[in-house]
Each structure stands twice: as C-alpha cells, then as structure tokens.
Structure 1
Amino acid sequence: MRTDTTTISTTLAGTTTTSSIAAVRNLGILAHVDAGKTTVTERILYLTGATHKRGEVHTGTTVTDFDPQERDRGITIFAAAVSCAWAGHRINLIDTPGHVDFADEVERSLRVLDGAVAVFDAVAGVEPQSESVWRQAERHGVPRIAFVNKLDRPGADLDSAVNSIREHLHPHPLAVHLPIGAEEAFTGVVDLVGHRALTWDESGTLTEGPVPAHLAERAAARRHALDEAVAELDPPALEEYCTHGALSHATLTAALRRLTHSGEAVVVLGGSAYRNRGIEPLLDAAVAYLPSPLDTAPAPSGDRDRQRGADRDGQHGADPQRPLTALAFKVTAAPTGRLTYLRLYTGTLRKGDTVLDTATGRTERIARILRVMAERHTEIDHALAGDIVAVIGPKTARVGATLCDPDHPVLLEAPVSAEPVVTVAVEARRAADTDKLTTALTRLAEEDPSLRLATDPDTGQRTLSGLGELHLEVAVEKVRRDTGVEAVVGRPQVALREALLEGVIGFTYRHAKQDGGAGQFAHLVLDLAPAADGFTFTSTVTGGRVPREYVQAVEAGCRDALTEGPLGGHPVTGLAVTLTDGATHPKDSSELAFRTAARLGLREALRACRLHLLEPLAEVTVTVPEDALGAVLGDLAARRATVQATSTTGHRDHDGPGSPGSHGGPGGTARVSALVPLAELFGYAGRLRSRTQGRGTFTTSLAGYAPASASASGPASGPAPASAG
C-alpha cells in the first residue's frame, strides 16, 4: 500500500487552486519520551515512499533524529520537519521532542501546525510529558487524533489506554479500532468505522478482510457504542441515529471529522509502529479527520499598534492570491547556509522574492526555497499558502519573525518562549577561544529562544540559561562539536524568583531631573500587594491627573523593574501594583519621565516590602523495580521531595520484543510521583541508576514555584564559578 509520491508531489506543487491547499496536512507527532514518536514517523516515511529503508532509533538510522547527539542519546532533541504524500495529499510532518527540557521546540512547532497525532504507550497510557504536550496543543487549539502504540508489548491494553486518556486528557475518547490478538499475538485491528479487519504479517504487508467470526459480536457491540457516543455529541448525526438506530459510514466519518476539528472528541487508533502494524489506517485517519489549512482559524496577529498599516484586522485565510504572510518558527545554521523555516499563511512565495521582516523593518531576499526532509532538502520554485518550507536568504530573521509582502505589512503573534530555570557559567578553556565561544553561544541563542545568554554582573562570567540540565548539556556539546572550542562549564544553578509576602500602601515617588533644556518630571503614588502569580497592573487615577499615555508608560516602567528584586537580583513575581494618584508638569512630563519614575519608584517600594525567595519545583515520575522502592523513596526524601502517589504493577515495563532497552527478570514495577525542588535533581540520573542497578527511569516536568529553603537561597541564587567538572 505504498503510494506514488512523485506524481502526487508534482501535482500539488504545480497548482495554485484551493483544492491543492485542501490536500495539505500540517501535522505534528506528539508524545512522552520513548512512546514511539520517531518510530511512527519513520514508518510513515517508509510507507509513503519518502524513504526506501526503515529507520530505527536503536541503530541510529532514523531520518528525523539526524543530529549526532540525538543518535548518541537515542532521543529526539530538535523538532525535525519532513514531507511525504499519501492518497493524493501532501503531509508535512514535524517530529517533536518528548523530553521536558525541549518543550519549547514543541511550543514553536505547535504554533504553525494545523493538527497533531498524539502517540501513547499501550502499557503506560498517559504519562507526564504526554499530558504536557497535550495541554500545549490544547492552548494552541490544535485538533488531535490519538495513536496507542506498542500493542504488542506484554501488558498492553487498548481499553486501559483509552480510559487513561479519558481520565487525564479528554472526556470523550472515541476508539475506532478493536485489536486482533493481544500482546505478542497482536496481528491487526478491526476497523469499526469501515467494518473490516486489517491484519499485517511479519514483513508489514497489510491484508484487508472481513471481521473474524470470534470478534464479530464484540465488533458489532463496539460499533453500536461508537455510533451512540457520536450521536450524543454531534447534532447532525443524532438525527440519523434517532431515525435508523445506527449511523452510515459517510455520516460517521463526517461526524468524527467535525468532532475532531471542534475538539469535542478525540479519535483513538491502535497499532505497533515497531512491527509496522497500524500505520496505514493512521495515515487514512489523519487525512480524513484532521484539518487542512483551509479549515483552520486565521493566524493570530500581534500587537495591532505595530502592524503598520494594511491587514490590521488579522484575517489571514489560506489564500495563495492574497499578499504574502509567513511566520518563521525555526532557524538553523546548515552547511548550505542559514535556514529559516516558514509556515505560509497567505500568498505565494517565489524564489527571488523580496520580503519584509515586520519586526525589524528590514527587507530580505529569498535566494532559495527548499522542501524539507530533515537534514536533506529539495529545491522548489515556489510555495503556496498553507505550506511549510525552509528558505535561504534572510540573514537576520529570528524565530517568531513575520515575513510578508513589503507593500502589505502584517505582524503575526510570535511563539512565546518559556522562562529558563537553570543557569551555568560557560568559559573557554583557552583565552584565545573566548570570542569564538561567545559567537557560537550567541548564534545558538538565536536558533533556540529558550536559551538565554548573559554576563554575570558580579563575576563577569558568561552565563547560559535554559529549561533544564539536559537542555544546557546538549547546547554546550553542540558548541563543542560545531566549533572545536573546549568549553568549561560551571555547576548548574536554578533560577530563583522573589515574591511579595506583604506590600505597602500609598508609596510616593517623585522623579525630577533638570540638566539643561527640557527636564523630566513625574509624580506617582503606588499600592503594592501580593498576587497569586505573575504581575498585574491597574490604575484608579481619576480626573486626568495622569494622562492615559502616561499610565501605559508607568506599567512599562513597572515591568522593567521586575527583572531584578531587592533580595538577590532575581525576577519578581506574585505582585499586584495599583497606580492610585500622580501629578504632571506642563512642560517636563513625558512618557520617558513616567516610565523612568515607575522603574525607580517600584524598585524603591519593593525594598520597603517583605519578600521571600521561590525555587522551581519539578513533578517527577520514577519507575523502578519493586524491590528497589524503599531505597528510592529514601533518596527522594533526602532531596526534600513530597511524594504524591505510589503504585505497583505485576510485571516489569520494557520496550517490547526485540527493541532496545528490554529486560526480563521476575518481580513487579513500582511507580512514584513526587514534587521535588529542581535544585535537588542535578545528578539524579546517575544516583537512580546506581540504586536500581541501571533498571530505574524517571521523567520530569516543571510544576511551578514554592518557597525556597535556606540552602536554595544561598549559593544557588547565582551562577557558580566555571570548573572542569
């Protein structure tokens, strides 16, 4: 069932009709680490003819995990875009990371995707990072279908996985498959929508046939339950169900598509990507149920005051005849040049076009347009609205930049990067390599906005901040490999926050400056109070004592002051500021004067308040052999952990027949969920391995902030000196 991709790709690339855009699917593969995202992607590429050999994660032969570090570590680190064709449709796929340290890669990808396939382990069900990426997709309004992978594993159960989805993610998972065989005997599925059996032999060849007699009764009952569940959720289907007591194939398919687009339900399929079972129906479902660029909402625009003229209403339907609007969601340095990955929302982009970077006001020339296949590229002459491509030419475009027609400037909403939580000091071992290292780190921060490069004001050291220990480790190793510079890295430090415990009322600040010419004058009265989270600003000034434009400047100045708190220069959070009064001068007052007054005044006001330090907490899920549970719990207690739940199973988890990382042996498996201060998790992987003889694993996700201990408020508040260890 492999399709002729050459004919389809040529047809799609050579047309500019609405029907060609309707035949595009921009999809992401989302999952918890080790659920099988990359294997699913590799099987899709092989089945559609995009590759001619099945790539395997454990042999380092995958297309999407092409970076040396990804192959060495056996995990996806960087979101990789690929393109293939299926049933007359072009599918642009982005294989996203599953590790929490690279959640920002997922965030940037979701910003430009129209749909997603969420992959779940048939034994583990919904895991911590599964839930995180699902919520990310939910925030972006990305419709999803679910693929329960590894149904060939011991202990695999599709119904349990569906119940896990219902309990943790979505109230209405709709399973459209019934497994044929269980665990190692899993050979196929009953397609409840098409009422047919799909089975695969050991070579992965698909055979379609009637439903097996021993499953006919269960399949009929499951189909009836599916019809009933869909009818309850979809009014057009309800009418037919009430009339006939069942839904036709066409009605059910159309209803599932509507429910997927609206997010009211999620279609659930099953299979085993490692054994090449279930990929064809997954592709069919992606084409049938997930939206095309024509089905999605217009791209959200950014600050309207910065849109500079045309298209200020933010309506950007996927129309190739409209002026160009594209969003840069990824930037990488490649041997062929600087690659800028674009999602086109409107218009047609042609080689040689000049585009405007709205954020900077610079124009850039598009030298080449590339159809992306991970690290390999195929040059094309043009790309249409709704497509995802890479371009060579723009020299200064950053992640989140809007590239558009110079005569029709538009500013799209940029992806928001997560705040870093871990910082290390980075130095070149040889002084002669300092400039080279700084240049490499700066370029790396441009490619990955979740990395922050700074200079410590006390030590003068260069510091690199990121989303986790592994995130920074990967970044520094990339610099070493790309430049040959031997970098020395200091001990990781967590990013603390300062929060208000007790505020002040009626704090008055007067800013007056006169040094020749026009002066600066601003008078403010501020109330400061604790807030649940973040920062809020309100104004209760009446009578025009502080003009509206000055009120906006006061808010901006307050936000400037939040970058450094009085306890240790950490960012301030949990603060509500109210501007209650003020005064102006007829000549010397200005927006600059009020912004400066707010910045200086709030910093002084914070010194009069009671604050405390907050440290980041991680939600940790540890999976260990049952006989090691006591030692692991003791170690977690020593790390100031708050254990939330423990559970045990009668079998030990492993990755499935023939897959790397599988192990046998008697005994059960224990799973512990706990909240642990992030500072206590440095080096935990090695400690866990030693306590479980290499059989324990853990995953983390950022869970928020909590009051810091005395140890956290000491040395961990700033970057440690760089050292070799």
Structure 2
Amino acid sequence: MKDLSLYRNIGIFAHVDAGKTTTTERILKLTGKIHKIGEVHEGAATTDFMEQEQERGITIQSAATTCYWKNHQLNIIDTPGHVDFTIEVYRSLKVLDGGIGVFCGSGGVEPQSETNWRYANDSKVARIIYVNKLDRLGADYYRVIQQVEKVLGAKPLVMVLPLGVEEQFAGVIDLLTRKAWVWDDSGEPENYQIQEVPSDMVDEVEKYREALIETAVEQDDELMEKYLEGEELAIEDIKRCVRKGTRNLDFFPTYCGSSFKNKGVQLVLDAVIDYLPNPTEVNPQPEMDLEGNPTGGVAYVDPEKPLRALAFKIMDDRFGALTFIRLYSGKLHKGDTILNTATGKTDRVGRMVEMHANSREEIDSAQAGDIVAIVGMKNIQTGHSLSDTKNVASLEPMIFPDPVISVAIKPKQKGGNEKMGVAISKMVQEDPSFRVETDQESGEVIIKGMGELHLDIKVDILRRTYGVDVEVGKPQVAYRESITKRIEDSYTHKKQSGGSGQFGKIDYVMEPGEAGTGFQFESKVSGGTVPREFWPAVEKGFETSIVRGMLAGYPCVDLKVTLTDGSFHPVDSSAIAFELAAKAGYRQTFPKAGPQILEPIMKVDVFTPDDYMGDVIGDLNRRRGMIKSQDSNTVGVRIKADAPLSEMFGYIGDLRTMTSGRGQFSMEFSHYAPCPSNVAEEVIKEAKERQAAS
C-alpha cells in the first residue's frame, strides 16, 4: 500500500508564453525523468508532443507525467495557456490537489492568467506562485507581486527575493534560511552555491522575512504568542503554518526564477512538497445519486473505501483510446468490472498505464490519489464518473461552456464523409468544448468551438492525424434571439375531421426573462380550466419551439411563459392538442413581442508597445469595441475592451500589421448583447439567403 502523504497531484498553469512548458521540462530534468532538456521554441519539449504544438510553440492539450523529488511522487499536468483551450485547464484543475501559477516577470498578470486563476478559485485548488523569466528585459518581481494583489485579489506570501534583475539575475535568496542560492552561467541547474546574503540586501531580507512570519503565524495562536514575546521561531514551525495557510487558500507562497536559464526551480519543487496538499488533505468530493442529487456522502481519499473515480480527459493515440482518470477513493485492478454512472453500463478494465507525456508504463493496479490512464474504454466521455458496481455513487459532473463560433466543413475527397464522421466523433469525445451538428436544411456538417485558433487546430488534426482534407466555410457567429416586450395572448387549437377531434385553448403571458435564465415556465391556472396533467404538454410545446427564433432561426434565450387560463373539452382535449396549441401560440406571439437579435460579446485583452496605442484603440473602436481600461507599464500598454465576435475575425493578422508584429491579444466569451439594427438586418438577410439556397 502506498503512503498517500508522499503524493502530490499538481498542475502548472499560466498565460500563453509565461513559460509553463519550459518549467515542466526543468522539473523533469531535475527529477531525473529526462536527461536532455527539450526547448519549446525548438519544438522539442517533452510535454508538447503534438505536431501542431511543436510548430506553433504553444501547448494545446494538457499532458500528464509522473516524476519523483525527495521521495515524493509528483503527478504533473502541464496545461495550455491559450484562451481557446481553457477547457483543458478547467478540467485538469478539477482533478488536481494543488497548482503552480506561473507568471512572466515582465508581462506580469496577463489575461489568461486571470481566467485560470478564476478557475482555480472555483475548484478551490491550493497554489504556489512562480514568477518566471526574471532574466528578461523589463522583468520586475515586485511589480508582479503588486499585480497579483490588485488584479487577482490574491495574497502572495513572498518566500524568496531575486538576486539581481534582467541580465544580472544570478539567483534567489531564501527568506526562511536567510541564504542566497547563486547559479553560475553554465546553464546547468545543478551548478549553484549556497552563500550568505549580500550585505546591501540584509535590511530588505529582514523586512520581507518579518512580513512572511507575521502572516504565517496568524495560522497558529500559540506560535503567534511566542513570536509577539520576541522568541525566535523554528523554521519547521513556520513551514507548518505556511502549509496550513496555503491549504486554506489564505495566501499563496511566492517564488521567482528563470526556468530557461535553470535558476530557481529547485526551490519551487521543494515548495510543492512543503506546502501543497497531499490527496488526503483536500476536501473530499461530494457524492451524488444517479439522478445527480447530493446524497450527503463524500468520496474520502481512502483505498479501503468503494471505488470513486472521474474521467477527466480522453485522448486517442496510436495504441487506441486512452481515458485519463483520477481515483478519489478505492482501488482499481486490471480485470475489474466498473460502472459508468452516466451511462449505467459496466466496463472491464483491460490495460492500465501511467503516462509520461506520450510514452507510458503498464501498471496492474492503482489506488485513491492516483492519476492513471485506462486503455480502450467504451462509451465514456469527459466528466463521467466511474464507480464500484456493488456500491454505486456518482461524483459532481463538469460543466462546459457553449461554443461561440462555427464553420461548415466538407471533405475534399469523394466518399470522405464516413472517414470524416469517424474522426470527428473521436475528436468530440476528446474535447467537450468542440461540438458538431448537421444542418437540417443544407445537410452541411458544422463544427463549433471556442475561437478561430481552436477550430483551426481541429481542421489541422483532421488533416494530419486522420488524413481527411476538408474545405472550410466562412466562420459563423453563434447569434441568439430574444424578446423585449411583455405580451398577453391566447390561442385555441381546434381540429375536427371525423372520429375524435383535438381541442386545447391557452391564455398566456410571454415576456423577457432575466439575462442568463434561459427558458422559464410557470402555470397560474386555478379552478381546473386547464387540467394539471396538460401543463407539462404546454411547457414542452413552448420549450421545443424556442430552439428556432422567428427572425433568423437562431435559438431564443431568456424567455418566460406564464400559463394564466384556458379551457378544455372532456373528450377532445389531449396532451398533444395542448402541445400543438403552445407551438402555434409561440409562432403567433413571438413576432409581436419586440424580437431582437443578440450577438456574442468577447472580453478582449490587447497588449501593444506604446507607439502603436492610438492605432490599436482606433481600430478597436472601428470594430464596435468598448474600451474598458488602459494600463501602461515599462514594456507597453494593456488595453481591455468588449467587442462583438463578428468584428474580431482575422484580428491577429491586423494587429500584427499595425504593431510591426509586436502586438498580442487574447479574447474569451463575456456575454450576449443586442445587435445594432443595421447588423441585425444583415444577419436576418443572410439567414434568409441560406434558407433559400438550401
């Protein structure tokens, strides 16, 4: 039996380009997992093993790997930083016990770091902060610490101070031990010396050390008293307090270094072991019954309890489908039969493997706290729970965002539809934020995703991995429709043609709902004018109708229908008659209720050097962008704006042209808002043309 206190399940997350994958490479080298360091910019990093990742120098899918440091087993997940792939971060954080938030020393708290931090807060994951790239021009550790406080609303607990900055960066000072770790310029992580603190930094070290201890001892009243009485505290006692506060998310131990130059990573690894929780120290997952209601039970991280596991990622590779699972309780052996609580079907565990990026080691068993992959499971999707067949319970499911962009695709080769269908169904299983549907009218296959890059990569994977060349249509925006007025209306459905007739009369109010409420239905009928057994039929009639708005055929959102009265016939009334009355009522009332088109508005975050700021803001205004804030720092300006998705296609090319290739941006979905009338007219016209063409 394994000692769970020696386990750490951690994720590394950050904004694109802050150095997550490089940091992971350094950790693997230091822990002896790899012997030669692969660089991201050369396309040789261990965890970036997809061709698309190597070419673009970005991480697309989270990669899992296992390594050992000071007798502790670290299961590490390197997650993507690009906004289009945040789903990978979200689902990784869901199954991790701790994380390392990496921030760029010069870029600071960038847009994607904010989103990831928010996800980590939602999942209540303990974190340590690592400020990377301190050797970069414009790097400023203290500025990043201020940004963490101001932008993220978090409390960084400074554990080390940098020795020199930019090209003078030589190492770090450990505040607890009051020792300086100084690396030479060989670039080898092992080539360091532990020295005394330089005399010109002694006062600063004492100032920060005092702040560290004052914050830490708030976790323990006895130590607080000793400290206030002037006693020198043992380092082990201080560490115990830091560990407790980190677990409670009261503060985040903060480190710095340069992963690329191999300076400072050892202290981050030590912090993972000293301060991040082991699997038994994390709040256990609540259990649900098969209907999704909380049972009041929890999945304690204990190998002796019944099996509870969550499938958090599915990956297809040359050996077959791999299902990554996190075991919360119980044990799992090769040959066991387990229940998928989402489908109600059982599956036999064939082969189990421990992953190291895209290579693997076969294992015979796993236990609570482990992250492993099972080969060849059927009918399983991300977010499904796996349970003991005799003692059944489910875990909290994952919630995935709706796509905001879609394109139509068709295979270039004749007869390529079947091959494309098989490939796409595998891709949908792997990525829950990637959806596919067939347009009922035109018969086109439409793929939907979180952004242009997301769909671009999917088309690339179709071509390279599955050998399906496709033609890609123009990107389509996921518009919505809604109403603006409250209308009281009535509809009678009557049909008499031999035999029993159909009759159903409904009086109802159709009105706009609160933003984000979707469809709501309420019945205020009294006195049995519409019998209670017909209410669900009325609700179903309206609910199935709103998937197509009357303006351009986009789904209708935030609509409330209240059934107020009506009448029925003792013989001719039926559920179907009332359902048909509701469907016709929707068609009758929707056009009167001030219908409008809503468009997705994106939160846009642009970074540009000072010289180009005017051009960038002017261009955002032309794209109907609303500028929210401008923040200047030594390396440039960060502009936050809200802009409609329809105006942002191809923006990266335009931004690069405007800023001589130096601008960067990221965007994520924010909310839906009404379109200006000229845009709405264009959307309706295009929808009518599409209908006519099909």
Number of the residue aligned with 1:77: 60
Aligned mate of 1:292, from 258, 262, 278: 278
1:111 is the counterpart of 2:106: no
Q: CA deviation at 1:212?
A: 2.8
Q: CA deviation at 1:714?
A: 2.6
What pairs up with 1:270-419 in 2 under 5 angstroms?
A: 270-302=256-288, 305=291, 312-419=295-402
Q: What residue identity is the alignment partner of 1:686?
A: G
What pairs up with 1:564-579 in 2 under 5 angstroms?
A: 564-578=548-562
Distance 1:489 1:314, change over 3 A: farther
Aligned mate of 2:199, from 207, 210, 213: 213
Q: For the Cα contact (< 8 Å) 2:160–2:255, is it kept in 1?
A: yes
Q: What residue identity is the alignment partner of 2:202?
A: A
CA RMSD of aligned residues (A): 3.2
Q: CA deviation at 1:399?
A: 1.3
What pairs up with 1:271-670 in 2 under 5 angstroms?
A: 271-302=257-288, 305=291, 312-505=295-488, 525-535=508-518, 537=520, 539=522, 541=524, 560-578=544-562, 605-650=589-634, 652=635, 669-670=636-637
Aligned mate of 1:700, from 657, 667, 692: 667
Q: CA deviation at 1:556?
A: 6.9
1:94 is the counterpart of 2:80: no
Aligned mate of 1:684, from 651, 672, 675: 651
Which consecutive residues of structure 1, in runs of 5 or more, have no partner in the other structure?
Answer: 1-14, 653-668
Q: CA deviation at 1:577?
A: 4.4
Q: CA deviation at 1:241?
A: 3.3
Quick one: distance in 2 between partners of 1:466 and 1:394? 25
Task: Determine helix, strand or coil for the equivalent of 1:431.
Answer: coil
Number of the residue aligned with 1:176: 159
Quick one: distance in 2 between partners of 1:343 and 1:370? 13
Number of the residue aligned with 1:204: 189
What pairs up with 1:230-241 in 2 under 5 angstroms?
A: 230-232=216-218, 235=221, 237-241=223-227
Distance 1:425 1:720, change over 3 A: farther
RCO comparison, higher one (Cα < 8 Å, 6+): 1
Please list the CA deviations of residues 89-137 of structure 1 after superposition, one character each: whole Å capped at 9, or x if unmatched.
2111111111111111112112211111111111121111110111111
Q: CA deviation at 1:543?
A: 7.1
Q: What residue identity is the alignment partner of 2:651?
A: Y
Quick one: distance in 2 between partners of 1:415 and 1:439? 25
Q: CA deviation at 1:584?
A: 8.8
Q: What residue identity is the alignment partner of 1:288?
A: D
Quick one: distance in 2 between partners of 1:514 and 1:312? 52
1:49 is the counterpart of 2:49: no
Distance 1:263 1:601, change over 3 A: farther
Distance 1:529 1:685, change over 3 A: closer
Please list the CA deviations of residues 494-546 of structure 1 after superposition, one character each: whole Å capped at 9, or x if unmatched.
11122332233476677999999999989674553331333263646487969
Q: For the Cα contact (< 8 Å) 1:522–1:585, is it kept in 2?
A: no
Q: For the Cα contact (< 8 Å) 2:30–2:189, is it kept in 1?
A: no
Task: Determine helix, strand or coil for the equivalent of 1:491.
Answer: coil
Q: What residue identity is the alignment partner of 1:694?
A: G
Overall identity of the aligned pairs, in %: 40
Quick one: distance in 1 between partners of 2:637 and 2:189? 34
Number of positions where the alignment pairs a residue of Structure 1 with one of Structure 2: 684
Quick one: distance in 2 between partners of 1:585 and 1:388? 61
Please list the CA deviations of residues 638-660 of structure 1 after superposition, one character each: whole Å capped at 9, or x if unmatched.
2222223334445x4xxxxxxxx
Task: Determine helix, strand or coil for the equivalent of 2:215.
Answer: helix
Q: For the Cα contact (< 8 Å) 2:495–2:501, is it kept in 1?
A: no
Quick one: distance in 2 between partners of 1:189 and 1:548? 72
Distance 1:270 1:508, change over 3 A: farther
Q: What residue identity is the alignment partner of 1:565?
A: G
Q: For the Cα contact (< 8 Å) 2:491–2:581, is it kept in 1?
A: no
Q: CA deviation at 1:300?
A: 3.4
1:252 is the counterpart of 2:238: yes
Quick one: distance in 1 between partners of 2:323 and 2:586? 40
Distance 1:639 1:513, change over 3 A: farther
1:193 is the counterpart of 2:176: yes
Number of the residue aligned with 1:4: none
Q: What residue identity is the alignment partner of 1:688?
A: L
Q: What residue identity is the alignment partner of 1:44?
A: I
Q: For the Cα contact (< 8 Å) 1:463–1:719, is it kept in 2?
A: no
Quick one: distance in 2 between partners of 1:193 and 1:585? 83
Quick one: distance in 1 between partners of 2:97 and 2:501? 53
Distance 1:171 1:78, change over 3 A: closer
Q: For the Cα contact (< 8 Å) 1:355–1:406, is it kept in 2?
A: yes
Quick one: distance in 2 between partners of 1:262 and 1:511? 64
Distance 1:302 1:572, change over 3 A: farther
Distance 1:270 1:136, change over 3 A: same
Quick one: distance in 1 between partners of 2:66 and 2:498? 62
TM-score, normalised by the number of residues in structure 2: 0.90
Please list the CA deviations of residues 250-270 of structure 1 after superposition, one character each: whole Å capped at 9, or x if unmatched.
332222222222222222111
Task: Determine helix, strand or coil for the equivalent of 1:501.
Answer: coil
Q: CA deviation at 1:450?
A: 0.9
Q: CA deviation at 1:81?
A: 1.0
Task: Determine helix, strand or coil for the equivalent of 1:125.
Answer: coil
Task: Determine helix, strand or coil for the equivalent of 1:618.
Answer: strand
Q: CA deviation at 1:354?
A: 1.1
Quick one: distance in 2 between partners of 1:209 and 1:582? 86
Number of the residue aligned with 2:6: 23
Quick one: distance in 2 between partners of 1:114 and 1:441? 32
Task: Determine helix, strand or coil for the equivalent of 1:145.
Answer: strand
1:64 is the counterpart of 2:47: yes
What pairs up with 1:99-178 in 2 under 5 angstroms?
A: 99-178=82-161
Q: For the Cα contact (< 8 Å) 1:524–1:597, is it kept in 2?
A: no
Q: For the Cα contact (< 8 Å) 1:116–1:142, is it kept in 2?
A: yes
Distance 1:692 1:143, change over 3 A: same
TM-score, normalised by the number of residues in structure 1: 0.87
Q: For the Cα contact (< 8 Å) 2:628–2:642, is it kept in 1?
A: yes
Q: For the Cα contact (< 8 Å) 2:503–2:574, is it kept in 1?
A: yes
Q: What residue identity is the alignment partner of 1:611?
A: P
Q: For the Cα contact (< 8 Å) 1:327–1:412, is it kept in 2?
A: yes
Q: What residue identity is the alignment partner of 1:104?
A: I
Quick one: distance in 1 between partners of 2:631 and 2:121? 28
Distance 1:544 1:484, change over 3 A: farther
Q: What residue identity is the alignment partner of 1:434?
A: N
Of stretches 389-398 and 417-426 in structure 1, the one that deviates more from structure 2 is 389-398
Which consecutive residues of structure 2, in runs of 5 or more, have no partner in the other structure?
Answer: none
Quick one: distance in 2 between partners of 1:411 and 1:516? 50
Distance 1:586 1:346, change over 3 A: farther
Quick one: distance in 2 between partners of 1:218 and 1:155? 21
Q: CA deviation at 1:187?
A: 1.4
Of stretches 543-552 and 635-644 in structure 1, the one that deviates more from structure 2 is 543-552
Number of the residue aligned with 1:657: none
